[in-house]
């Protein structure tokens, strides 16, 4: 057992008690828990006792666990309560799970992003569970007049072996909730875990399969109107005027007006990112009626001059102009030839390149991507003179709250953001512009409204994965040994460079440079931001290097990692070379790497990002000249796995996502206009392109858990590219690879 | 506006809407049957699949007058207690991630299983390619369809 200081704080307990009286936060919904899954529903207790922000226990022993974080398919609504249940020591079958609202005073971090939900909740949730358990033990000890140290627990039961006394948690819930919070509590040994590390069914699965209203877009309340916005058709344009003479007379239409979502006085944060701040708005009774009026609205646009705004207290700008992919490509090519901003230099790379017997140089590119979460952007808002309530999909309520408060002129505590289950996110919903828009529309319309984006609205409104380019150079001596390594990476509008990642630390002479080109096309985090491109470029280049040096691609990577482990260059290497090598060794074993099958082409790739290590081997076949990934073997080191089957599901999803985006994903621009606006032209991977088998293996260790949502995604791109090389004899440098294949 | 009589999941409804309104929005906005999802509005993603006289149709492009007087089944009507072989299999395999596309996936699969009680992987690929899952749960969907076929066979 580990003794930990209880730093979750008295604050959360006091607040909990306060709130139980105030009654603001507890939206009890039934049945949302594991019990909905086919068994008889649990009996709802008449009274709940709040042990802390995360746990309440009924007199009958039924336990409600709150999932603090936004759920968008990464399964936190199941995995975070599993951590609580483990330390509380209860029967998972006696658990109801509820989604918490956004409540920063009660919960430490209600943010879904960076693959950090489990990692950052691990310690607080274990402590919360163990604390509640300890309070139950102390309550029983007082009542039974026995030493607390003699009381044990077993799946929701308190036991005193000496006297034979036993009681369910429910019997002591009231007394325990009244007790002072213990200063420190003991956590379980990892080897004693029963729930963490097992596989628990998604607590929402039955509701999903029965079509229950779970998502923001499903939300409805009395008097609610539907709102849609019309945004500029091109980046670089802004609203000038509109003619609503026809639209406003159409059936079901209540009002048509314009809004400024982010006014000039607002100090923005990065999650406010949006290119468009002035919209035409149509409000009406039903979605279809509003959509028809929206089409009938005639809006005039004009060129937008350079836009200056404040972000984090500093001036920021969007340049003017209408941008095109063709011009982007030419500009990026130009910058790859110019000196960049040096982020890291080891040894004397310039000299090493001068003295090289041979230099290999390759440039890799990737296009803008749209997130394309299946549930389009939407949000319910009801704003009145003194308060605001919002309900909808958001990954980052804590960031949007401050902006909402500024924009609405309401104190933060008068704004309630409720967290809907999200129909996907992939980073897109970290950006909260739709919450601001919905709130401003509701305020203007003086009604509860649900803002609905069409698919076309969403795909053309921005927040894309940036377009990137990376040039790699390797210098060889006369004996074909690696002398120096140089990466220069940039993009529009940001550089994807991670200067201290592998192979930094493994090569004596190393140089990393970055560059960027400003743009008015709004970008944002996209599943494993920057890593999703850098992994593709770097791991393709390493594959080519291995081939040039006549080495097996896994052996070559392991040699470099061995150097980084035993005799690292520099001190800022941000990866653990032993764990990195561990996943490569595991994937080599599990994929039977050395075995070959006629007609099956294998590619390998490995990457470290978001605190986890993943290696993948792809088996690809060519059918009538079309590549098809048949099988992937993945090895993952993310420390302790919370919910094994769910982790396997998510890793598989990330890999399918990687195959799809590597082969098909792209959003080109012409004169500021996104050239794709729906799934008719934007190709996403579909069933017939999905592999037959994904075989996921986890490195077994007792390290604290790290990210799982993002790390399996980046390695897939290069594994596909390297398999394509085996299949075609050609290297693939420019995503999406299907275009490059067609152009041959 | 015109009155349209609908039969959905065995229940009679009468709605007063423009006859060109897609069935999807009548289900979602007027009848509060929100299990049928909006994903693209152009019959390209399959999130809105329902059964019209037993056939899988994209309700986002099916005008309400086409459904008048005909049998419509949505995810809410596939079974009363969520125990259709496909729903059982989906639960057992624990298919969903975000879950948004899954009712459309199940409704497409239901027609497949009726037409081909024991589909091969190729049958599944052909029948299910119109349904996008952005989370990438395709492998589990395939697995669940095979399992549902087994469950269905045992029930007969």
Question: Over the stretch A316-351, which tens digit does the pLDDT of each residue have?
Answer: 999 999 999 999 999 999 999 999 999 999 999 999
Q: Would you say B88 and B69 are in contact if contact means Cβ atoms under 8 Å apart?
A: no
Q: What is the pLDDT of residue A479?
A: 96
Token pair 């709802």 in the structure block, residue: A44
Q: Would you say A465 and A326 are in contact if contact means Cβ atoms under 8 Å apart?
A: no
Sequence-distant (≥ 6) Cβ neighbours of residue A227 within 8 angstroms: A281, A282, A283, A290, A438, A441, A445, A449, A450, A451, A452
| Least confident span in A95-104, A346-355, A370-379, A594-603 | A95-104
Question: Over the stretch A401-450, which tens digit does the pLDDT of each residue have?
Answer: 999 999 999 999 999 999 999 999 999 999 999 999 999 999 999 999 99
Q: What is the pLDDT of residue A123?
A: 93
Structural domains of chain B, ranges and CATH numbers in brackets: 2-77 (3.10.20.30), 85-155 (1.10.150.120)
Q: Do B98 and A73 touch (CB under 8 A)?
A: yes
Q: Do B96 and A421 touch (CB under 8 A)?
A: no
Token pair for A744: 């041959």
The stretch A72-77 carries a mean pLDDT of: 94
Q: What is the pLDDT of residue A41?
A: 62
The stretch A106-130 carries a mean pLDDT of: 91
pTM value? 0.95
- Specify the DSSP class assigned to residue B37: P
Residue numbers of A between 38 and 57 with CB closer than 8 Å to B: 38
Shortest CA distance from B129: residue in chain A: A687
Q: What is the pLDDT of residue A1?
A: 66
Average pLDDT, chain A: 93
Question: How close is the nearest chain A Cα to the Cα of B118, in Å?
Answer: 18
Q: Do A653 and B137 touch (CB under 8 A)?
A: yes
List beta partners, residue A643: none
Q: Do B82 and A653 touch (CB under 8 A)?
A: no
Q: Do domains A2-204 and A524-742 have the same CATH topology?
A: yes
- Whether A535 has a pLDDT exceeding 60, the answer reads yes
The verdict on ipTM greater than 0.85 is yes
Share of chain A above pLDDT 70, in %: 95
What is the pLDDT confidence band of residue B155, given thresholds at 50, 70 and 90?
A: confident
Q: Do B90 and A374 touch (CB under 8 A)?
A: no
Determine the topology of domain A216-311+377-452 in CATH.
Answer: Aldehyde Oxidoreductase; domain 4 (3.30.365)
Helices marked H in A525-670:
531-548, 553-566, 577-590, 644-663
> Which candidate from A209, A374, A454 shows the least CB-CB separation from B106?
A209
Domain boundaries, chain A: 2-204, 216-311+377-452, 524-742
Taking the C-alpha atoms of residue A468 and residue A529, their distance in angstroms, rounded to an integer, is 11
The stretch A451-461 carries a mean pLDDT of: 98
- Whether A626 has a pLDDT exceeding 90, the answer reads yes
Q: What is the pLDDT of residue B21?
A: 98
> Which candidate from A74, A645, A684 shows the least CB-CB separation from B132?
A684
Q: Would you say A195 and A82 are in contact if contact means Cβ atoms under 8 Å apart?
A: yes
What is the pLDDT confidence band of residue A519, given thresholds at 50, 70 and 90?
A: very high
Taking the C-alpha atoms of residue A160 and residue A166, their distance in angstroms, rounded to an integer, is 6
Within 10 A of A728 (CB to CB), how many other CB atoms are there?
17
Residues of B in contact with A684 (CB under 8 A): 132, 134
Question: How close is the nearest chain A Cα to the Cα of B128, in Å?
Answer: 6
- Specify the DSSP class assigned to residue A709: S
Judge if the upstream peptide bond of residue A692 is cis by omega within 30 degrees of 0.
no
Within 10 A of B19 (CB to CB), how many other CB atoms are there?
13
Mutation target vs B (from A36, A74, A208; most B CBs, 10 A cutoff): A208
Mutation target vs B (from A210, A392, A677; most B CBs, 10 A cutoff): A210
Residues of A in contact with B99 (CB under 8 A): 73, 204-205, 208, 214, 421, 423
Q: Would you say A581 and A562 are in contact if contact means Cβ atoms under 8 Å apart?
A: yes
Cα separation of the two ends of chain A: 62
What is the pLDDT confidence band of residue A39, given thresholds at 50, 70 and 90?
A: very low
Q: Do B82 and A206 touch (CB under 8 A)?
A: yes
Q: Any CB–CB contact under 8 A between A204 and chain B?
A: yes
What is the pLDDT confidence band of residue A104, given thresholds at 50, 70 and 90?
A: confident
Question: How close is the nearest chain A Cα to the Cα of B9, in Å?
Answer: 13
Q: Would you say A691 and A656 are in contact if contact means Cβ atoms under 8 Å apart?
A: yes
Query: Rounded to 10 degrees, what is the CA torsion of A73, A75, A77, A80?
Result: -140
Share of chain A above pLDDT 90, in %: 90
Q: Any CB–CB contact under 8 A between A32 and chain B?
A: no
What's the CATH code, domain A2-204? 3.30.365.10
Token pair for A141: 């000890």
Taking the C-alpha atoms of residue A245 and residue A442, their distance in angstroms, rounded to an integer, is 22
What is the pLDDT confidence band of residue A305, given thresholds at 50, 70 and 90?
A: very high
Token pair 């967290």 in the structure block, residue: A419
Share of chain B above pLDDT 70, in %: 100
Q: Do A220 and B32 touch (CB under 8 A)?
A: yes
List beta partners, residue B63: B22
Taking the C-alpha atoms of residue A341 and residue A515, their distance in angstroms, rounded to an integer, is 6
The stretch B130-153 carries a mean pLDDT of: 98
Q: What is the pLDDT of residue B26?
A: 98
Question: Over the stretch A271-284, which tens digit does the pLDDT of each residue have?
Answer: 988 889 999 999 99
Question: Over the stretch A141-152, which tens digit does the pLDDT of each residue have?
Answer: 999 999 999 999
Taking the C-alpha atoms of residue A532 and residue A495, their distance in angstroms, rounded to an integer, is 13
Sequence-distant (≥ 6) Cβ neighbours of residue A84 within 8 angstroms: A54, A55, A65, A125, A128, A129
Q: What is the pLDDT of residue A62?
A: 93
Q: Would you say B101 and A679 are in contact if contact means Cβ atoms under 8 Å apart?
A: no
Token pair 């329902």 in the structure block, residue: B50
Mutation target vs A (from B134, B143, B147; most A CBs, 10 A cutoff): B134
- Whether A21 has a pLDDT exceeding 60, the answer reads no
Give the DSSP H/E element, type plus range, for residue A377: none
Q: Any CB–CB contact under 8 A between A709 and chain B?
A: no
Residues of B in contact with A372 (CB under 8 A): 134
Q: Any CB–CB contact under 8 A between A570 and chain B?
A: no
- Whether B54 has a pLDDT exceeding 60, the answer reads yes
Mind giving me the DSSP string for A612-626? EEEEEEEEEEEETTE
Q: Any CB–CB contact under 8 A between A284 and chain B?
A: no
Give the DSSP H/E element, type plus range, for residue B138: helix B138-155
Q: What is the pLDDT of residue A12?
A: 44
Mutation target vs A (from B135, B143, B145; most A CBs, 10 A cutoff): B135
Token pair for B76: 């809410």
Q: Would you say B135 and B47 are in contact if contact means Cβ atoms under 8 Å apart?
A: no
Taking the C-alpha atoms of residue A614 and residue A634, their distance in angstroms, rounded to an integer, is 7
Q: What is the pLDDT of residue A7?
A: 57
Mutation target vs B (from A653, A662, A687; most B CBs, 10 A cutoff): A687
- Whether A601 has a pLDDT exceeding 60, the answer reads yes
The stretch A485-507 carries a mean pLDDT of: 98
Q: What is the pLDDT of residue A542?
A: 98
Q: What is the pLDDT of residue A6?
A: 65
Q: Would you say A523 and A530 are in contact if contact means Cβ atoms under 8 Å apart?
A: no
Determine the topology of domain A524-742 in CATH.
Answer: Aldehyde Oxidoreductase; domain 4 (3.30.365)
């Amino acid at each position: 057992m580990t003794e930990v200081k209880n730093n979750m704080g008295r604050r959360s307990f006091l607040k909990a008690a306060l709130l139980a009286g105030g009654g603001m936060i507890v939206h009890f919904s039934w049945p949302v828990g594991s019990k909905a899954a086919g068994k008889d529903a649990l009996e709802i207790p008449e009274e709940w006792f709040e042990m802390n922000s995360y746990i309440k226990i009924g007199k009958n022993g039924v336990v409600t666990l709150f999932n603090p974080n936004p759920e968008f398919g990464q399964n936190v609504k199941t995995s975070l309560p599993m951590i609580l249940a483990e330390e509380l020591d209860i029967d998972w079958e006696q658990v109801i799970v509820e989604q918490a609202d956004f409540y920063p005073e009660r919960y430490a971090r209600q943010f879904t992003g960076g693959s950090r939900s489990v990692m950052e909740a691990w310690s607080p949730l274990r402590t919360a569970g163990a604390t509640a358990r300890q309070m139950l033990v102390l309550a029983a000890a007082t009542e039974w007049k026995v030493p607390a140290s003699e009381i044990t627990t077993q799946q929701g039961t308190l036991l005193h072996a000496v006297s034979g006394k036993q009681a369910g948690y429910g019997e002591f819930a009231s007394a325990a909730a009244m007790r002072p919070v213990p200063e420190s509590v003991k956590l379980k040994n990892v080897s004693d875990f029963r729930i963490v590390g097992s596989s628990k069914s998604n607590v929402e699965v039955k509701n999903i399969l029965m079509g229950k209203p779970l998502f923001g877009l499903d939300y409805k309340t009395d008097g609610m109107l539907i709102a849609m916005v019309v945004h500029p058709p091109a980046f670089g344009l802004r609203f000038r005027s509109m003619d609503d003479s026809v639209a406003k007379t159409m059936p079901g239409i209540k009002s048509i007006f314009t809004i400024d979502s982010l006014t000039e006085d607002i100090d923005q944060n990065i999650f406010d990112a949006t290119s468009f701040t002035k919209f035409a708005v149509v409000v009406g009774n039903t979605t279809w009626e509003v959509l028809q009026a929206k089409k009938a609205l005639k809006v005039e646009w004009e060129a937008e001059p350079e836009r200056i705004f404040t972000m984090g207290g500093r001036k920021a700008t969007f340049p003017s102009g209408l941008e095109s992919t063709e011009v982007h490509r030419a500009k990026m090519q130009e910058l790859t030839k110019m000196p960049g901003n040096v982020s890291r230099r080891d040894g004397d790379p310039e000299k090493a390149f001068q003295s090289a017997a041979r230099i290999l140089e390759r440039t890799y590119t990737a296009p803008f991507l749209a997130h394309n979460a299946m549930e389009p952007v939407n949000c319910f808002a009801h704003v009145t003179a003194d308060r605001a309530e919002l309900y909808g999909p958001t990954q980052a309520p804590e960031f949007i709250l401050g902006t909402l408060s500024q924009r609405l002129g309401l104190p933060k505590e008068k704004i309630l953001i409720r967290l809907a289950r999200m129909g996907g996110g992939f980073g897109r919903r970290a950006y909260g512009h739709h919450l601001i828009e919905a709130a401003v529309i509701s305020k203007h319309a003086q009604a509860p409204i649900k803002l609905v984006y069409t698919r076309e609205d969403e795909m053309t409104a921005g927040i894309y994965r940036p377009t990137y380019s990376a040039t790699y150079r390797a210098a060889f001596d006369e004996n074909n040994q690696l002398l120096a390594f140089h990466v220069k990476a940039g993009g529009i509008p940001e550089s994807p460079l991670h200067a201290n990642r592998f192979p930094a630390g493994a090569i004596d002479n190393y140089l990393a440079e970055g560059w960027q080109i400003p743009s008015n096309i709004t970008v944002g985090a996209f599943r494993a931001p920057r890593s999703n491109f850098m992994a593709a470029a770097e791991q393709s280049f390493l594959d080519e290097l291995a081939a040039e040096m006549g080495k097996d691609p896994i052996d070559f990577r392991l040699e470099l990692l061995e150097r980084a482990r035993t005799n690292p260059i520099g001190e800022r290497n941000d990866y653990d070379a032993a764990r990195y090598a561990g996943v490569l060794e595991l994937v080599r074993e599990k994929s039977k790497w050395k075995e070959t099958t006629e007609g099956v082409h294998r590619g390998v790739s490995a990457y470290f990002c978001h605190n986890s290590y993943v290696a993948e081997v792809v088996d690809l076949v060519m059918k009538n000249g079309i590549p098809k990934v048949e099988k992937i073997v993945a090895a993952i080191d993310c420390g302790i796995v919370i919910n094994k089957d769910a982790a396997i599901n998510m890793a598989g999803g990330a890999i399918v996502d990687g195959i799809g985006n590597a082969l098909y994903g792209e959003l080109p621009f012409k004169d500021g206009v996104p050239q794709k606006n729906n799934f008719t032209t934007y190709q996403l991977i579909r069933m017939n392109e999905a592999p037959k088998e994904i075989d996921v293996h986890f490195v077994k260790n007792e390290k604290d858990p790290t990210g799982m949502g993002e790390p399996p995604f980046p390695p897939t791109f290069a594994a596909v590219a390297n398999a394509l090389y085996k299949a075609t004899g050609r290297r693939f440098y420019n995503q999406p690879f299907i275009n490059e294949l067609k152009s041959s | 506006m015109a009155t349209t009589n609908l039969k959905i999941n065995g229940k009679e409804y009468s709605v007063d809407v423009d006859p060109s309104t897609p069935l999807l929005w009548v289900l979602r906005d007027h009848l509060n049957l929100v299990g049928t999802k909006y994903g693209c509005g152009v019959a390209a993603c399959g999130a809105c699949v329902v059964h019209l006289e037993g056939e899988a149709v994209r309700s986002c492009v099916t005008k309400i007058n086409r459904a008048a007087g005909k049998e419509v089944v949505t995810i809410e009507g596939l079974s009363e207690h969520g125990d259709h072989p496909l729903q059982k299999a989906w639960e057992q395999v624990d298919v969903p991630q975000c879950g948004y596309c899954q009712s459309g996936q199940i409704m497409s699969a239901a027609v497949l299983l009726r037409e081909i009680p024991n589909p091969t992987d190729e049958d599944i690929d052909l029948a299910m390619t119109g349904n996008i899952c952005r989370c990438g749960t395709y492998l589990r969907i395939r697995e669940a369809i095979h399992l549902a076929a087994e469950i269905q066979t045992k029930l007969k």
